[in-house]
């Protein structure tokens, strides 16, 4: 059976008899080795420390840790797709990051190595469609990886629609990328309806070919994302079945299904936004279980937080070097900017409100360590919560089981 600790996110596969003993608080049957393993995973503890208080301490400590700098960097606000559900409806311009702006941003990143304690930089290449600005992006990933050295690492992930990631580009970028996320929303008909080119032509065949080439000719870890509505989930399952015939499951790092987000203009500022609930999350959880039986790997899709906006050293930067506490706010009112000298200047109270805030739901929710109030942007801003409790009540066991099967193989229910 699977035992999961939400506070430190450890997961163990245990015999049913051992789980029964733990439920009954009968520790006399445990060997010394079992006690040590369970204690290290925090499955059992001495009971003298209140876990809720400990969680708040860990979160406050992590908020202000300087070891990691996490950035979403938009290399272009242009996109060659006309997706029916694009959330970035505040993005009205169409421009690319210039070489000069990249050099200024690189100066900011480089400056974090010495006066601060940053030891790792995590960068997500984002857009628009980041590959619309290929030459600057290619130079950027080379610059970033060249910074690696003793006690300093750089992780670079690319989020792309996949249409411009040709075989030549994939092989050229491969030495500098740690992972790529490519989206296919279903079989050809459904995908082309949801994610056509701006010309109206379908993009499915181009994206599929580029996905296969990236998997076959590079060692980049590839995640396949599928955005779904309730009515498109059966088609997403059909896509997974067809990709299995192409032998893609063992080559993919993992798959991820997501309900389509509300757009920026649709996000309301109410005090408690409702998370994804109802049949769609139930159907997604069921699809994950089908997927792992086909050989696909699934991540910890039951972990929804804490949101990156809580962390001092996490933010998004657009091509004009405007800074936002969360990529959901891109092209809305910025929270600051990168100065010509490569410094971060904050111009918004929201920046500090989002770091300082503690969700009101922490005291009475067992999912607090893996949700922490959910997505702040979808909730409408600081002090609001995007509650996922109902969805997790309904689906967390199935989601944990799907992840465990993809890691361990068959597990007991």
What pLDDT shows up at residue 272? 43
Q: Among candidates 196, 178, 167, which has minimal Cα distance to 79?
A: 196
What pLDDT shows up at residue 276? 54
What CA–CA distance (Å, rounded) separates 327 from 305? Answer: 15
Complete domains list, the chain, with CATH:
66-270+279-308 (3.20.20.70)
- Contact between residue 333 and residue 269 where contact means Cβ atoms under 8 Å apart: no
What pLDDT shows up at residue 269? 46
Per-residue pLDDT tens, the chain, 413 aa: give them.
Answer: 888 888 888 888 888 888 888 888 888 888 888 888 888 888 887 777 788 888 889 889 999 988 999 999 999 999 999 999 988 877 777 899 999 999 999 999 998 887 668 999 999 999 999 999 999 999 999 999 999 988 899 999 999 999 999 999 999 999 999 999 999 999 999 999 999 999 999 999 999 999 999 999 999 999 999 999 999 999 999 999 999 999 999 999 999 999 988 777 777 544 444 445 568 999 999 999 999 999 999 999 999 888 889 999 999 999 999 999 999 989 989 999 999 999 999 999 999 999 998 888 888 888 999 988 888 888 887 778 888 888 899 999 999 999 998 888 866 55
- Please write the tens of the pLDDT for every residue from 127-163: 999 999 999 999 999 999 999 988 899 999 999 999 9
- Please write the tens of the pLDDT for every residue from 345-359: 999 999 999 999 888
């Amino acid at each position: 059976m699977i035992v999961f600790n939400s506070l430190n996110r450890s997961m163990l596969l245990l015999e049913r008899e051992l789980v029964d003993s733990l439920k009954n608080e009968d520790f006399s049957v445990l060997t010394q080795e079992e006690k040590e393993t369970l204690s290290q995973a925090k499955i059992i503890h001495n009971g003298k420390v209140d876990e809720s208080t400990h969680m708040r301490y860990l979160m406050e400590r992590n908020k202000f840790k300087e070891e990691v700098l996490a950035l979403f960097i938009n290399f272009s606000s242009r996109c060659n797709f006309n997706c029916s559900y694009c959330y970035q409806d505040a993005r009205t311009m169409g421009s690319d990051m210039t070489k000069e702006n990249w050099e200024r941003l690189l100066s900011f990143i480089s400056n974090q190595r010495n006066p601060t304690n940053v030891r790792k930089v995590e960068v997500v290449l984002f857009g628009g469609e980041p590959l619309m600005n290929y030459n600057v992006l290619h130079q950027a990933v080379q610059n970033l990886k060249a910074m690696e050295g003793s006690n300093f690492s750089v992780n670079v992930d690319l989020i792309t629609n996949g249409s411009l990631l040709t075989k030549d580009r994939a092989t050229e970028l491969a030495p500098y990328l740690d992972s790529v996320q490519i989206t296919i929303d279903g079989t050809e008909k459904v995908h082309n309806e949801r994610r056509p080119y701006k010309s109206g032509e379908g993009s499915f065949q181009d994206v599929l070919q580029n996905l296969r080439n990236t998997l076959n000719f590079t060692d980049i870890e590839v995640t396949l994302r599928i955005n779904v509505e309730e009515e498109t989930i059966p088609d997403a399952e059909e896509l997974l079945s067809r990709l299995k015939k192409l032998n893609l499951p063992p080559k993919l790092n993992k798959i991820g299904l997501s309900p389509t987000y509300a757009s920026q203009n649709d996000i309301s500022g109410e005090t408690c936004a409702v998370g994804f609930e109802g049949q769609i999350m139930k159907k997604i959880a069921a699809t994950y279980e089908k997927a792992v039986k086909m050989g696909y790997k699934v991540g910890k899709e039951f972990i929804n937080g804490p949101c990156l906006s809580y962390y001092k050293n996490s933010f998004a930067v657009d091509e004009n070097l405007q800074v936002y506490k969360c990529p959901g706010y891109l092209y809305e009112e910025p929270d600051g900017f990168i100065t010509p000298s490569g410094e971060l200047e904050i111009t918004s109270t929201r920046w500090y409100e989002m770091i300082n805030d503690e969700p009101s739901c922490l005291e009475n929710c067992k999912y607090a360590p893996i949700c922490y109030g959910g997505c702040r942007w979808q909730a409408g801003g600081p002090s609001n919560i995007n509650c996922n409790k109902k969805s997790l009540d309904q689906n967390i066991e199935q989601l944990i089981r799907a992840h465990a099967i993809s890691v361990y193989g068959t597990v007991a229910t």
